[in-house]
Amino acid sequence: MSVASILAEKGRDVQTIQPHRTLAEAARILADRRIGAAVVTGADGAVLGILSERDIVRAVSEAGPEALVEPVSRRMTAKVMTCTEESTIETAMEVMTIGKFRHLPVVQGGRLTGIISIGDVVKRHIEKIEAETRAMRDYIAMA
């Protein structure tokens, strides 16, 4: 199963935010949309970074409430790991596990085409295992 299959089911909507926006604005967007991260993009749509709830919590922990007026660019993760639509779910899960992050932007041909979460990946992985189990039971029952 590929990342494309996840995007086909869940959609390709990606919450983006510009680097000059404040952490307070970012927190409001994340809370309103009930999501855990936003991709930071430039005027040309290029991926510049990613900002997660964890990034905001760390900023407030380090700098206090004053951190909320800081620009997103100061607290975002600039070295963004990405995957492609052809990436397997197992590969995406491995990248997220090793990197210890929960959101992975999907980039195709240099353009942001979606984002997947660890929840998306785990759900599809479980579905795959359940399908394999059913197939094995059916095969055994026929034997």
pLDDT level of residue 112 (50, 70, 90 thresholds) = very high
Residue 24 · residue 66 · CB < 8 Å: no
- CA dist 39 and 43 (Å) reads 13
CA distances from 49 to 25, 37, 45, 76, 84 (A): 16, 11, 11, 6, 17
Partners of 79 in beta bridges: none
Percent of the chain with pLDDT over 90: 80
Terminal Cα distance for the chain, rounded: 28
Q: Which residues lie across from 104 on neighbouring strands?
A: 116
Fold of 3-142: CBS-domain (3.10.580)
Calculate the average pLDDT of the chain: 93
Distance CA(143)–CA(125), nearest Å, equals 27
Looking at residue 74, its amino acid is R
Stated pTM of the model = 0.85
Tens-digit pLDDT profile for residues 123-136: 988 988 998 899 88
Write the pLDDT tens digit of every residue in 54-86.
Answer: 999 999 999 999 999 999 999 999 999 999 999
